[in-house]
Amino acid sequence: MSRDWRRRGLKIERVIQNSMSKPTTYRFSFGPWNISEGADPFGPEVRPAFPHEKKYALYKPMGFDGVQFHDDDVVPGIDELNSAQISKQCAKVKKMLDNQGLTPEFVAPRLWFAPQTVDGGYTSNSAKDRKYALDRTLRTIDIAREIGSKAVVLWLAREGSYIRESKNARLAYQRILETINAMLAHDKDIEIWIEPKPNEPTDMAYVPTIGHTVALAYASSDPKRVKGLIETAHALLAGLDPSDEMAFALAHDKLGSVHLNDQNGLKYDQDKNFGAANLRTAYNQVRVLEEAGYGKKGEFIGLDVKAMRTQKGKCVTSHLTGSREIFLHLVEKVRSTDEKLVQQFRDARDYEALELYILKHLMGIK
């Protein structure tokens, strides 16, 4: 184990050196749900509907190359269709992606809408509902393969509890692990990226942080194929620093993707524009990604940002292009950070001077 860690340490140093020599060209992705009509739990849509199929033509002109899907974004009405019908729809989506020159980054089973998932899928107390969740997940893997995607994302929305006494938490972890192993056995190439979130819609989720995700990965039957997807807002809701969460995943070679956005304090999941609540936290996320060479193996910079309800338009996209723009500006800020100076301040343990330097650098003050 300790030798393994030494090797990993050396590898991290090599990655740091590599990433300094060849700048990464970042590729961006988002899911069609990011372009919404503005409904929230307190009111209906405020903008005219924009058809799902038309959204894909917007990606490239907006500077995005990757599409994130839910299973029913690819195959609407999935529960009513047989496997031949599902395959036919997948072929149609694949052709559309090929025509547009887009990459399907991942497919995620939407296990929080159907009546069978009211109390969770994999961790439901009902064997019948657990079977529904597993069947739908295995079908999601098939869909991912058919449209040419190498990963399935598990946002474990309702795998948690509203009251602690309602489920056996130890059994719940076992059931999540069994599901992961069944997925790995179903397909020998697919990667599983777990997206942790501490709460909402449940009171407490069973996989709230990247630490839980990484533990599940190592406990699984094929740890190399189980990784995490870190969302800024989810880490902040857990009271953690998103850049440290990313660094932890990267140290284990387990950052499959990211959902960059922002969050203003401990409240509902806001999915604000990247950098909108805390520019310094955003800078540090970019710094960690850049330093690790994230993106060099084709990983995407995924965004999960919500358009403001107040925004007018038939199809609103400026929250996405704006977040992408801020990310790229922060890449420049990271690349122009005087790392020699940072090292001098570290050596002298003068963190007051280091902090002032970083703040002035972010403000563009020499």
Site string for ligand 3MF, 275-304 (x = CB under 6 A): -----------------------------x
Q: Based on the shown chain and the rule CB under 5 A, indicate whether residue 119 belongs to the binding site for Mg ion.
A: no
CA distances from 179 to 88, 123, 131, 217 (A): 27, 10, 10, 12
DSSP bridge pairs for 40: 43
319 contacts Mg ion (rule: CB under 5 A): no
Of all residues in the shown chain, the one whose CB is closest to ligand 3MF is 155
DSSP conformation letters of 192-226: EEEE--SSSSSSEESS-SHHHHHHHHHHSS-GGGE
Joined tokens for residue 337: 């950070």
Q: Using the rule CB under 5 A, which residue among 78, 304, 319, 345 binds Mg ion?
A: 304
Q: Which amino acid is at 304?
A: D
Residue 26 interface partner, choices ligand 3MF, Mg ion, none, CB cut-off 5-8 Å depending on type: none
- CB of residue 246 to ligand 3MF, shortest distance in Å: 16
CB of 68 to Mg ion, least distance (A): 9
- Least CB distance to ligand 3MF at residue 207 (A): 12
Return d(Cα 285, Cα 280) in angstroms, integer.
Answer: 9
Q: Binding of Mg ion at residue 136 (CB under 5 A)?
A: no
Question: Within 310-339, which residues bind ligand 3MF (CB under 6 A)?
Answer: none
| Residue 276 DSSP symbol | S
Shortest CB 183 distance to ligand 3MF, Å: 15
Q: Per-residue contact track with Mg ion, 223 to 262, x per CB under 5 A?
A: --------x---------------------------x---
Q: Which residues are catalytic?
A: 70, 73
Identify what 153 binds: Mg ion, ligand 3MF, none; CB under 5 to 8 Å per kind: ligand 3MF
**Is 24 or 232 the residue whose CB approaches ligand 3MF more closely?**
232
Binding to Mg ion by CB under 5 A, coded x per residue (else -) over 40-79, reads ----------------------------------------
Q: Which long-range contacts (CB under 8 A, 24 or more apart) does 351-360 make?
A: 358/280, 358/283, 359/280
197 binds ligand 3MF (CB under 6 A): yes
Residue 245 within binding range of ligand 3MF, rule CB under 6 A: no
Q: Using only C-alpha atoms, what is the Rg of the chain? A: 21
Q: Do residues 150 and 190 touch, judged by C-beta distance below 8 A?
A: yes
Q: Does 105 bind ligand 3MF (CB under 6 A)?
A: no
CB 256 within 8 A of CB 227: yes
- Does position 155 interact with ligand 3MF (CB under 6 A)? The reply is yes
What does the angle CA 307 – CA 311 – CA 315 come to, to the nearest 5 degrees?
Answer: 70
**CB of residue 329 vs ligand 3MF: minimum separation in angstroms?**
24
Distance CA(290)–CA(292), nearest Å, equals 5
Q: Which residues, in sequence order, are CB contacts of 227 under 8 Å at separation 6+?
A: 191, 192, 193, 194, 213, 217, 249, 254, 255, 256
Does residue 262 bind ligand 3MF (CB under 6 A)? Answer: no
Residue with tokens 């801020």: 326
Asked if 129 touches ligand 3MF (CB under 6 A), the answer is no
- Nearer to ligand 3MF among residue 108 and residue 214 (C-beta): 108
CB 279 within 8 A of CB 362: yes
Binding site for ligand 3MF (CB under 6 A): 33, 108, 153, 155, 195, 197, 231, 259, 269, 304
Binding site for Mg ion (CB under 5 A): 231, 259, 304
